[in-house]
Amino acid sequence: MPAFSVYGLAMVTTSPASSAIPRVGLVSLGCPKALVDSERIVTRLRAEGYQISPDYEGADLVLVNTCGFLDSARDESLDAIGEAIKANGRVIVTGCLGAEPEIIEAAHPSVLAVTGPHQYEQVMAAVHTHLTPPHNPHLDLMPEAGLKLTPRHYAYLKISEGCHNRCSFCIIPKLRGDLVSRPIHHVLTEAEQLVRAGVRELLVISQDTSAYGLDLRYAPQTWKGETYDTRFVDLARGLSSLGVWTRMHYVYPYPHVDQIIPLMAEGLITPYLDIPFQHASPSLLRAMKRPAKQDRVLERIQSWRRDVPDLALRSTFIVGFPGETEADFETLLDFIREAKIDRAGCFKYENVAHADSRDLPGHIDEDIKEARWHRFMQVQADISAERAAAQIGRVQDVIVDAVGETPDSYLARSKADAPEIDGIVHLTSTASLRPGDIVAARITEADHYDLWADDLR
Ligand code: SF4
């Protein structure tokens, strides 16, 4: 399930342009997958010689990349479109909500065009129609790895589009279609270009990372003289050769996930797994139509942790799903306690339009959902605090994200922290550090989510 975040116009900056050069503003809403779509669009725009405007006023038109996953995200997308229309007037909409143009056109009839998720050609065609491309694009100014909306030292690596699962609460397959994997040599080549451009941390994303390549029947490809099947385990093997942190998101507990644990034990893949379990009660998981069996999942987590003691587990859960009894909910709490989930996001079930779960019996009252959400968050906060406290005194590698506000202070992350969604390491160092530097630090303090550490040098 995607986290919801906003990357506004100010995230994209360029050198001042002459007024003759057409300028496009971009508002990017939604999950990291949508952010990667925005990066591809920005890269195409710049390759064709468009400038990217850091504000509405300087833009000749504005692209709004929307999210449509939850009703709250749809409302936020419609608000963002309205704001862009008010501030600029010339707006093209793309992204997940673009799969339902009638909703957008009903709310905002003046939008210039609407295209759906990952329809790069259609987005560019709409831009060409409403803003003539310049004649002399400065292609030589384009970095080899394309333009990134994330800081230079980490990058999202999208390995597939769409999803072949049919979870009953989710409309992503309806919005984004079935699984379409990128051939493995394309993904590995992109990853290598990113590393060459200065990226120190790759964040692998998709809707179901462990299903990678299923649609291509795991077709073998050649990369740097070696054969790699288009599958999760070979992807991990290829990425591990690049010598940077590699973080796996949206992994489902299929049996073959066990095969990347040895790569983590050898330090080749970052010991972090983002597994959206969603629930632990077998009957609810069946009602949710979740992929991958979770029968032996606790045993497997224990075995992963035996082999990789530093393994951090992040997950997302839904409380108040139709039919959830108090006993189901207790099963969920027992699961997070036993699995010692390091980081968890919890969502109250939302009755999303067009989701199959709308038709299930036993919808839960909002006040019960609210109470369960608070109980979940309290239990999870205690687990996270206990896990964080156990780090005090240990030495860990941390990656610097930003210079802090006081002298010798930096904002960094440990291998257990993905950017944007997990904790921060408040690092003290007398060295002159830059974003992307990785240093060994001793952990001195911890609260529920964040750590404090001293640079060892
Ligand atoms: S795995 Fe399930 S929740 Fe995730 S995108 Fe696919 S259908 Fe939706």
Q: How many CA atoms lie within 13 A of 73 on its CB side?
A: 28
Residues 59 and 53: their CA atoms lie apart, in Å, by 5
Q: Which of 158, 175, 208, 284 to mutate to test the pocket of ligand 1 (most atoms within 8 A of CB)?
A: 208
Q: Which of 124-133, 263-272, 427-436 has the lowest mean pLDDT?
A: 124-133
| 454 contacts 444 by C-beta, under 8 angstroms | yes
Cα separations in angstroms, 446 against 85, 131, 451: 45, 52, 4
- Give 157-205 pLDDT, tens digit per residue: 999 989 999 999 998 888 888 999 999 999 999 999 999 989 999 999 9
pLDDT in tens, 45-70: 887 778 888 889 889 999 999 987 77
Mean pLDDT value across residues 366-393: 95
Q: What's the angle, vertex CA 123, arms to CA 117 and CA 124, rounded to 5? A: 145
Question: Is the distance from the beta carbon of residue 278 to the nearest atom of ligand 1 less than 6 Å?
Answer: no
Which of 395, 394, 407, 422 has its CA nearest to residue 154? Answer: 422
Q: How far apart are CA 438 and CA 427, in angstroms?
A: 11
Establish if 149 belongs to a structural domain: no
Q: 84 and 198: one domain? A: no
- Using a pLDDT cut of 90, give the percent of the chain over it: 68
Q: Are 28 and 147 in contact (CB under 8 A)?
A: no
- Residue 79: which CATH number? 3.40.50.12160
Whether residues 264 and 347 fall in one domain: yes
What span, in angstroms and rounded, lies between the C-alpha atoms of 449 and 383? 10
Test site for ligand 1: of 31, 163, 290, most ligand atoms within 8 A of the Cβ: 163
C-alpha pair distances (Å), 219 with each of 206, 212, 232, 237, 241: 18, 11, 12, 16, 20
Measured distance between the N- and C-terminal CA atoms of the chain, rounded to whole angstroms: 40
**Residue positions counted in the chain:** 457
Structure token digits, residue 21: 């050069």
Ligand 1: which of 33, 174, 205, 207 to mutate, most ligand atoms within 8 Å of CB? 207
Contact 398, 439 (CB under 8 A): yes
Question: What's the gap in Å between 166 CA and the centre of ligand 1?
Answer: 6
**Count of the separate structural domains present in the chain:** 3
Has residue 417 been placed in a domain?
yes
The predicted pLDDT at position 14 comes to: 33
Q: What is the DSSP string of 335-372?
A: HHHHHT-SEEEEEE----TT-GGGG-S-PPPHHHHHHH
Domain-embedded: residue 11 = yes
pLDDT value of position 379? 96
Phi and psi at 178, nearest 5°, equal: -75, 170
Q: Give the per-residue pLDDT at 73.
A: 83
- Classify residue 148: in a domain, yes or no: no
Last residue of a domain, one of 389, 422, 443: 389
220 and 283, same domain (yes or no) = yes
User: Following DSSP, what letter does each residue of 168-193 receive, concatenated?
Assistant: TT--HHHHH-S-EEPPHHHHHHHHHH
The CA–CA distances, whole Å, from 40 to 124, 154, 241, 413 equal 11, 16, 25, 26
Do 112 and 202 fall into the same domain? no
C-alpha–C-alpha distance, residues 257 and 215, integer Å: 18
**Quick one: pLDDT at residue 243?**
95
- Looking at the domain assignment, is residue 146 inside a domain? no
Mean pLDDT for the stretch of residues 267-278: 95
**Residue in 240, 353, 229, 335 with CA at minimum distance from that of residue 279:** 335
Residue range 217-240, pLDDT digits in tens? 999 999 999 999 999 999 999 999
Statement to judge: residues 134 and 267 lie in one domain: no
Residue 246 lies in a domain: yes
Residue 264 in contact with residue 310, Cβ under 8 Å? no
Q: Is the pLDDT of residue 143 over 80?
A: no
Integer Rg of the chain from CA: 22
The CATH number of whichever domain residue 377 belongs to comes to 3.80.30.20
Residue 147 in any domain: the answer is no
Range of the domain at 166: 154-389
- Structure tokens given for 22: 């057409």
The pLDDT value given to residue 12: 35
Atom of ligand 1 nearest to the CA of 250: 4
- Average pLDDT on 206-213 reads 94
Please tell me the distance between residue 22's alpha carbon and the centre of ligand 1 in angstroms: 38
Question: For residue 1, what pLDDT band results from cuts at 50, 70 and 90?
Answer: very low
CATH code at position 434: 2.40.50.140
Instruction: Verify that 176 and 111 share a domain, yes or no.
Output: no
Among residues 389, 406, 432, the one where a domain terminates is: 389
Q: Which pTM was predicted?
A: 0.77
Q: Confirm or reject: Cβ of 147 under 6 Å from ligand 1.
A: no
- Domain co-membership, 236 together with 354: yes
- 331 CB less than 6 Å from ligand 1? no
Tokens of 170: 């989710």
- The pLDDT of residue 54 is 83
Choosing from 389, 416, 435, the residue where a domain stops is: 389
178 in any annotated domain:
yes
- Tens of pLDDT, residue by residue over 9-51, are 333 333 333 457 889 999 988 777 788 888 888 888 887 778 8
99: three-class secondary structure by DSSP: helix
Which of the four pLDDT bands, split at 50, 70 and 90, describes residue 132?
confident
The Cα-based distances of 127 to 38, 47, 90, 137 in angstroms read 14, 14, 11, 15
At 141 the pLDDT is 53
Return the pLDDT at 98.
87
Nearest to 280 by CA among 339, 231, 322: 339
Residues 297, 421, single domain; the answer is no
Same domain, 228 and 346: yes
287-301 tens-digit pLDDT: 999 986 777 899 999
Assess whether 120 and 219 both reside in one domain: no
CB of 288 closer than 6 A to ligand 1?
no
Q: Are residues 301 and 446 in the same domain?
A: no
Indicate if 360 and 421 belong to the same structural domain: no
Q: What is the 167 CA–ligand 1 centroid distance (Å)?
A: 5
